[in-house]
């Protein structure tokens, strides 16, 4: 079967760092995406990893280990506006078909 | 990044009627578009893959006669929910791929469908 697992919810304080883990077992792999989704809105693109290693983009970084079927999204210097659901998604084929995890709700507290 | 426009943002319809949702790529040619459905507090579930000029490919468990998808041009795909029922109430989101350019798929704003 195909599985993408990530924690349901994480809580952290403003200014802190939070790491959201994602493990996957899929029939195909052509890259892993992280999206941010606020309630009632469409997902917005955060990062894309296709090779092993760390990709840094401002306050957000994403890591991939293909041999372990593992990725994480690191959010630094948390702000209240970062409270949202973070979706891990695996691209199964070269056409762009994405399989999503259930999402991790991040709650940032003052 | 590229822009995908989805219309309408929200719609309320009576049970038994049909609703059409449009997904347009505004500044690129989308040879492939995807339609997702998302129930409250759940993740996005892929419904179908739409390729320009050919029939859509539906995921297992999705009724193709109920969810009609048309991708007649490189910039427009439509999803029609036929004979809608309250259980079809959901958030529907499209995404589009520009295979000649960007790596990621770009999402439309989503359509909140409520069937009463």
Mean pLDDT for the stretch of residues A43-65: 94
Task: Provide the pLDDT confidence category of residue B31 given band limits of 50, 70 and 90.
Answer: confident
- The strand pairing partners of A34, in sequence order, are A47, A88
The string of DSSP letters for B7-52 reads E-SEEEE-TT--EEEEEEESSS--SEEEEEEE-TTS--EEEEEEET
Residue B101 has a pLDDT of 57
pLDDT > 90 in chain B, percent: 70
Side-chain-facing half-sphere of A14: CA atoms under 13 Å: 5
* Gap between the Cα atoms of A46 and A103, Å rounded: 14
Q: What residues of chain B lie within 8 A of the CB of A100, using their CB?
A: 43-46
Average pLDDT over all residues of chain A: 93
Mean pLDDT for the stretch of residues B106-110: 92
For the cut 70, the answer to whether the pLDDT of residue B99 exceeds it is: no
Residue B74 has a pLDDT of 87
Q: What residues of chain B lie within 8 A of the CB of A87, using their CB?
A: 43-44
For the cut 80, the answer to whether the pLDDT of residue A96 exceeds it is: no
Mean pLDDT for the stretch of residues B34-63: 90
Residue B6 has a pLDDT of 95
Q: For residue range A8-41, what is the model confidence (pLDDT) as tens digits?
A: 999 999 999 999 999 999 888 889 999 999 988 8
B46 to A99: CB separation less than 8 angstroms, yes or no: yes
- Would you list which residues of chain B are within 8 Å, Cβ to Cβ, of chain A? 1, 6, 32, 34, 42-46, 49, 91, 93, 95, 97, 99, 103-110, 112
Q: Helix, strand or coil for residue B88?
A: helix
B1 to A33: CB separation less than 8 angstroms, yes or no: no
| The residue to which tokens 């990530």 are assigned | A6
B43 to A101: CB separation less than 8 angstroms, yes or no: yes
Cis check for the bond before B8: say yes or no (omega within 30 of 0): yes
For the cut 80, the answer to whether the pLDDT of residue A110 exceeds it is: yes
For the cut 60, the answer to whether the pLDDT of residue A1 exceeds it is: no
A42 to B107: CB separation less than 8 angstroms, yes or no: yes
* Gap between the Cα atoms of B112 and A104, Å rounded: 21
* Gap between the Cα atoms of B110 and A15, Å rounded: 31
pLDDT > 70 in chain A, percent: 97
A93 DSSP 8-state letter: S
């Amino acid at each position: 079967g195909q599985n993408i697992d990530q924690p349901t919810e994480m809580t952290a304080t403003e200014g802190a760092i939070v790491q959201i883990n994602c493990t996957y077992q899929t029939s195909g792999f052509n890259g892993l995406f992280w999206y941010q989704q606020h309630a009632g809105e469409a997902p917005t693109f955060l990062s894309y990893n296709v090779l092993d290693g760390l990709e840094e983009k401002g306050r957000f970084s994403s890591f991939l280990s293909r041999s372990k079927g593992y990725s994480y999204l690191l959010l630094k210097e948390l702000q209240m506006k970062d409270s949202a659901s973070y979706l891990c998604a695996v691209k199964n084929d070269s056409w762009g078909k994405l399989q999503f995890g259930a999402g991790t709700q991040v709650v940032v507290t003052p | 990044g590229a822009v995908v426009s989805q219309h309408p943002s929200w719609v309320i319809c009576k049970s038994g009627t049909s609703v059409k949702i449009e997904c347009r790529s505004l500044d690129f040619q989308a040879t492939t578009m995807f339609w997702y459905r998302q129930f409250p507090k759940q993740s996005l579930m892929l419904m179908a893959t739409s390729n320009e000029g050919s029939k859509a490919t539906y995921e297992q468990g999705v009724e193709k006669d109920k969810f009609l998808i048309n991708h007649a041009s490189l910039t427009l795909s439509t999803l029609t929910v036929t004979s809608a029922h309250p259980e079809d109430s959901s958030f529907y989101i499209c995404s589009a791929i520009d295979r000649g350019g960007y790596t990621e798929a770009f999402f439309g704003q989503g359509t909140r469908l409520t069937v009463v």
